[in-house]
C-alpha cells in the first residue's frame, strides 16, 4: 500500500479554532465517562421552552431497544433557528440564495425569514394541517423550500422532503409510505439551464391509484411554465401567503415528538423512511455544525447538498441556522454554466466554509484545473466532504486545487440514520490523513467487530458498529418499527450496526472501507471496495472507478473493475495492461482486477453515490433482477453498461 501522507493541524487554523487536540481529547473523554453530565451541559446549545430534567434514556439491548433524549424537555425548532436570533441578528443574512443562472441571487435576513415562515405556517394551518400531520415537500432549491420545512416545524407538522429529481413513481411511493396530507411543490425547477417538471410529476404521482392521502397541493411559482391545475385541490403559494398573517407563535413540542421523515439514498436496497425526533436531533445538528466546521460568528457557509438529503437538512439548514450562521442555498449544479461555477460562487459570496461530496470532486478532477480558472477562492478556510469514501487522490486534489493547500478538509462519516456527523476531524484539533474520516465526535463510540460480533482491538479491519446512543440517532423506520430493530440491532446484538466496514489504524483513526455487503473475498483475503477503487483513481488517466466481486473458479471471487477515464483519454490494450500493473504495484497482486470494464459512466443514486449492487448484477449477467432501481439517477447508464459488458465478459 502506498505511503499514507499526514497533514498536521495548520497553525493559522489552530490559532483561532474552537478546540485544539487537548481540548478534543478532554471533551471526548468526558462525553464517554459521564454522558449524562456531558449532554446535559451541551443541550444548552439550543433554547428550551421547558428545560429537561432527564438527559439520556437509551438501550441497545435486544428486546429493550429504546432511544430517548431530553425526554421531558419542550422546544420548537423554528424558534431556535429563527426567533432566538431576532434580538441580535434580525437584519443579518440568514440565507444567501444563488440561482441557477449566475445573474440571479438574493439575500434573506432573519427578520424576513421569520415573516415568511410565519406566513406560510399560517397557510398550512388554514389548510387543516395539524401537529403530527405529514407534509410532503417536493421542491427545487429555492428559499421557499427552507421556508416550507421551517413552517412545518413551527406548527409541529412532520415534513417528508423528497428530492426534486425523483420520478413520479418514487414520489408516489414516498407519499403512500408516509401518509402525507399535503404536497408542497413548484411549477417547475431550474437546474443547469433546464426546466424540471415538478408540478407535472406531482400530478402523475397523485394519479397513481395507491395515493389517496393528499388533500391539497401548494404550488410555488418559480418559472411561470405551463402546468395543469385541479380546482379545489391546488393552490398557489403567492396567493395563499398574500393574505396570511405574519404572526404565528411556535408550537411547544416535546423533545421526543417526531420532527421529520427522510428516506435513505437507496444505495444498498429499498429506501428506509428514517424518523427523527425534535430535541436530540437539533442539539446534535447544532453542536456538530459548530465544532466540525469550526464555525465562527460571521462566517459564510455553503453546503452544496440538496434539501432532499439528510445533509441538506442537518448542514444546509438546521445546524447552521440554529447557530445563527449565514447559509448559502444554491439552486443549480456546480459545473453550470461552466466547470468553474462552484469556485465562482465561493468568490462571489466570499464563502468561508465549503461542504461538498466526492462525486463532485472527482467530476472536477477529471477536467484538469478548469474548476478553478479565473477564481481566487481566497475566502475559504475549511473544506468538507460527505457521502462516500473520498479517495486519497481526490482528497489531495480538493486540498491542493480548491483549497490552495490552506484549508483543512473534514471528511465526515455519517448516515441519514445518524442525524449528524459521527466520525470526523476537527479543523483545529486533528492531524489529517487523506481518505480517513479520522476520529469519533463527542459521545460516539465506534467499534469494529468480526462476523460473530466479537470486538476487535487495536489496528484492525471489521464491521463498524456503535456501542451507545447519541442524541441525533433515528428513532424508528416510519411505520415499520420491526424493520428498525431488524436492520440496525439484530446483526450484532447490543450494538447499532452501520452496514459499513472500516479499518482502524495505529493512531486509532478510522478508514471507511465500503459497504459490508460489497466486501470482496479473493483467495481468502477480505478487501473493502474503497482501497482498490482509490488505487485505480490514483492513476493519472482515471477519473472514477467501482469494483465488485464476481464468482471465480480458483480464487472464489475475482475482481471486476468498472473504470471511467478522464476527459480526452481513450481505452487501449496498453492502458489495460498499465492499469492492471498499476493496481498490482499500489496494493499488491491480490488486488489486481481480473476484468477491466471501460465505462463511460457509473450508475449512481440521485444523491451521487455509486450503486455497486447494480454493478454486481451487471458483472454477473443477472440483469433481469437488478433490484430496486427507483433511486437510480440515470437508467441510461445501466443500459449502456449492460451492452458494453457483452464486449468484456
Q: Which of 541, 593, 602 is nearest to 572 (CA)?
A: 541
State the minimum distance, in angstroms, from the CB of residue 499 to ligand ATP: 6
- Chain-centroid distance of CA 283 in Å reads 18
Name the segment binding ligand ATP (CB under 6 A); options: 150-158, 170-178, 183-191, 411-419: 411-419
Residue 539 marked in a binding site: yes
Residue 111 marked in a binding site: no
Residue 542 marked in a binding site: yes
Q: For residues 164 and 308, is the Cβ–Cβ distance under 8 A? A: yes
Q: Which of 95, 632, 608 is nearest to 305 (CA)?
A: 608
Name the segment binding ligand ATP (CB under 6 A); options: 26-34, 56-64, 188-196, 492-500: 492-500
Name the segment binding ligand ATP (CB under 6 A); options: 5-13, 177-185, 221-229, 497-505: 497-505
- Nine-digit cell string for 199: 408540478
User: Cα angle vertex 474, ends 471, 480, to 5°?
Assistant: 150
Nearer to ligand ATP, 57 or 487 (CB): 487
Judged by CB under 6 A, the residue of 269, 337, 571, 627 near ligand ATP is: 269
Residue list 372-391, contact with ligand ATP (CB under 6 A): 386-389
Nearer to ligand ATP, 467 or 595 (CB): 467
Assess 548 for contact with ligand ATP (CB under 6 A).
no
Q: Is residue 399 helix, strand or coil?
A: helix
Assess 531 for contact with ligand ATP (CB under 6 A).
no
Residue 523 marked in a binding site: yes
Question: What is the C-alpha separation between 649 and 647, in angstroms, rounded?
Answer: 6
Residue 601 marked in a binding site: no
Instruction: Name residue, grid cell 435513505.
Output: 264
Name the segment binding ligand ATP (CB under 6 A); options: 53-61, 89-97, 204-212, 405-413: 405-413
Residue 453 marked in a binding site: no
- Nine-digit cell string for 246: 405574519
Q: For residues 618 and 624, is the Cβ–Cβ distance under 8 A? A: no
3-state SS, 394-440, equals: HHHHHHHHHCCCCCCEEEEECCHHHCCCCECCCCCCCCECCCCCECE
Assess 430 for contact with ligand ATP (CB under 6 A).
no
Judged by CB under 6 A, the residue of 30, 379, 415, 623 near ligand ATP is: 415
Nearer to ligand ATP, 166 or 413 (CB): 413
Residue 552 marked in a binding site: no
Assess 407 for contact with ligand ATP (CB under 6 A).
no
Residue 559 marked in a binding site: no
Cβ-proximal residues to 114 (8 Å cutoff; 6+ apart), any chain = 82, 83, 86, 90, 246
Question: What is the C-alpha separation between 302 and 384, in angstroms, rounded?
Answer: 10
Residue list 313-372, contact with ligand ATP (CB under 6 A): none
Question: What is the C-alpha separation between 408 and 434, in angstroms, rounded?
Answer: 10
Assess 534 for contact with ligand ATP (CB under 6 A).
no
Judged by CB under 6 A, the residue of 35, 140, 271, 280 near ligand ATP is: 271
Nearer to ligand ATP, 330 or 496 (CB): 496
Q: For residues 526 and 518, is the Cβ–Cβ distance under 8 A? A: no
Judged by CB under 6 A, the residue of 147, 512, 546, 615 near ligand ATP is: 512
Question: What is the C-alpha separation between 104 and 97, in angstroms, rounded?
Answer: 8
Residue 413 marked in a binding site: yes
Element (H, E) at 152: helix 143-155
Q: For residues 5 and 434, is the Cβ–Cβ distance under 8 A? A: yes
β-pairing, 216-220 vs 496-504, is: unpaired
Judged by CB under 6 A, the residue of 266, 319, 320, 549 near ligand ATP is: 266
Residue 72 marked in a binding site: no
Assess 469 for contact with ligand ATP (CB under 6 A).
no
Judged by CB under 6 A, the residue of 122, 323, 352, 412 near ligand ATP is: 412
Residue 142 marked in a binding site: no
Max CA pair span of the chain: 73
Binding-site residues for CoA: 191-194, 311, 335, 523, 584
The residues that touch ligand ATP, with contacts defined as CB under 6 A, are 264-269, 271, 386-389, 411-416, 437, 498-500, 512, 515, 607, 609
Amino acid at each position: 500500500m502506498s505511503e499514507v501522507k499526514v497533514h498536521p493541524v495548520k497553525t493559522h487554523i489552530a490559532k483561532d479554532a474552537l478546540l485544539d487536540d487537548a481540548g478534543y481529547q478532554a471533551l471526548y473523554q468526558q462525553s464517554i465517562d459521564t454522558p449524562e453530565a456531558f449532554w446535559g451541559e451541551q443541550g444548552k446549545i439550543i433554547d428550551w421552552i421547558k428545560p429537561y430534567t432527564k438527559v439520556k434514556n437509551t438501550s441497545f439491548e435486544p428486546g429493550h431497544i429504546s432511544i430517548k433524549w431530553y425526554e421531558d424537555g419542550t422546544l420548537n425548532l423554528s424558534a431556535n433557528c429563527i426567533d432566538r436570533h431576532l434580538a441580535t441578528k434580525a437584519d443579518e443574512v440568514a440565507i444567501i440564495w444563488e440561482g441557477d443562472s449566475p445573474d440571479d441571487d438574493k439575500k434573506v435576513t432573519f427578520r424576513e425569514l421569520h415573516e415568511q415562515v410565519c406566513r406560510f405556517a399560517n397557510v398550512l394551518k388554514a389548510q387543516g394541517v395539524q401537529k403530527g400531520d405529514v407534509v410532503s415537500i417536493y421542491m427545487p432549491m429555492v428559499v421557499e423550500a427552507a421556508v416550507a420545512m421551517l413552517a412545518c416545524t413551527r406548527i409541529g407538522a412532520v415534513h417528508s422532503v423528497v428530492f426534486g429529481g425523483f420520478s413520479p413513481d418514487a414520489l408516489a411511493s414516498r407519499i403512500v409510505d408516509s401518509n402525507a396530507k399535503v404536497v408542497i411543490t413548484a411549477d417547475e425547477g431550474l437546474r443547469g439551464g433546464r426546466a424540471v417538471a415538478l408540478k407535472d410529476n406531482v400530478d402523475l404521482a397523485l394519479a397513481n391509484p395507491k395515493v389517496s392521502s393528499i388533500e391539497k397541493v401548494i404550488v410555488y411559482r418559480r418559472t411561470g411554465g405551463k402546468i395543469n391545475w385541479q380546482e379545489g385541490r391546488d393552490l398557489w403559494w403567492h396567493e395563499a401567503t398574500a393574505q396570511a398573517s405574519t404572526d404565528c407563535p411556535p408550537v411547544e413540542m416535546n423533545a421526543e415528538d417526531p420532527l421529520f421523515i427522510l428516506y435513505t439514498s437507496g444505495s444498498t436496497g429499498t429506501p428506509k423512511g428514517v424518523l427523527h425526533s425534535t430535541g436530540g436531533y437539533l442539539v446534535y445538528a447544532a453542536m456538530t455544525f459548530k465544532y466540525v466546521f469550526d464555525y465562527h460568528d460571521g462566517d459564510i457557509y455553503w453546503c452544496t447538498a440538496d434539501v432532499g438529503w439528510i445533509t441538506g437538512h442537518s448542514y444546509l439548514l438546521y445546524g447552521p441556522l440554529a447557530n445563527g450562521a449565514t447559509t448559502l442555498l444554491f439552486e443549480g449544479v456546480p459545473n453550470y454554466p461552466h466547470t468553474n461555477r462552484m469556485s465562482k460562487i465561493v468568490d462571489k459570496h466570499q464563502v468561508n466554509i465549503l461542504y461538498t461530496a466526492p462525486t463532485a470532486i472527482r467530476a472536477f478532477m477529471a477536467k484538469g484545473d478548469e474548476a478553478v480558472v479565473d477564481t481566487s477562492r481566497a475566502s475559504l478556510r475549511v473544506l468538507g466532504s460527505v457521502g462516500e469514501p473520498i479517495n486519497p487522490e481526490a482528497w489531495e486534489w480538493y486540498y491542493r486545487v480548491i483549497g490552495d493547500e490552506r484549508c483543512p478538509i473534514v471528511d465526515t462519516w455519517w448516515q441519514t440514520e445518524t442525524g449528524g456527523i459521527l466520525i470526523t476531524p476537527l479543523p483545529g484539533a486533528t492531524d489529517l490523513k487523506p481518505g480517513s474520516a479520522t476520529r469519533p465526535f463527542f459521545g460516539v463510540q465506534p467499534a469494529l467487530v468480526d462476523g460473530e460480533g466479537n470486538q476487535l482491538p487495536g489496528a484492525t479491519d471489521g464491521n463498524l458498529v456503535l456501542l451507545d446512543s447519541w442524541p441525533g440517532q433515528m428513532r424508528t423506520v416510519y411505520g415499520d418499527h420491526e424493520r428498525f430493530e431488524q436492520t440496525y440491532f439484530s446483526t450484532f446484538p447490543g450494538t447499532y450496526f452501520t452496514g459499513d466496514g472500516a479499518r482502524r489504524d495505529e493512531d486509532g483513526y478510522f478508514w471507511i472501507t465500503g459497504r459490508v455487503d460489497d466486501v470482496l473475498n479473493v483467495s481468502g483475503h477480505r478487501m473493502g471496495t474503497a482501497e482498490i477503487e482509490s488505487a485505480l483513481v490514483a492513476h493519472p488517466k482515471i477519473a472514477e472507478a467501482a469494483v465488485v466481486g464476481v464468482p471465480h473458479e480458483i480464487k472464489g471471487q475475482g475482481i471486476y473493475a468498472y473504470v471511467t477515464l478522464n476527459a480526452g483519454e481513450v481505452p487501449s490494450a496498453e492502458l489495460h495492461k498499465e492499469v492492471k500493473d498499476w493496481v498490482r504495484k499500489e496494493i499488491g497482486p491480490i488486488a489486481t482486477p481480473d476484468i477491466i470494464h471501460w465505462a463511460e459512466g457509473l450508475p449512481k443514486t440521485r444523491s451521487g453515490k455509486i450503486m455497486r449492487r447494480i454493478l454486481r448484477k451487471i458483472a454477473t449477467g443477472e440483469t433481469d433482477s437488478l433490484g430496486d432501481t427507483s433511486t437510480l439517477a440515470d437508467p441510461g447508464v445501466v443500459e449502456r453498461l449492460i451492452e458494453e459488458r457483452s464486449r468484456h465478459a
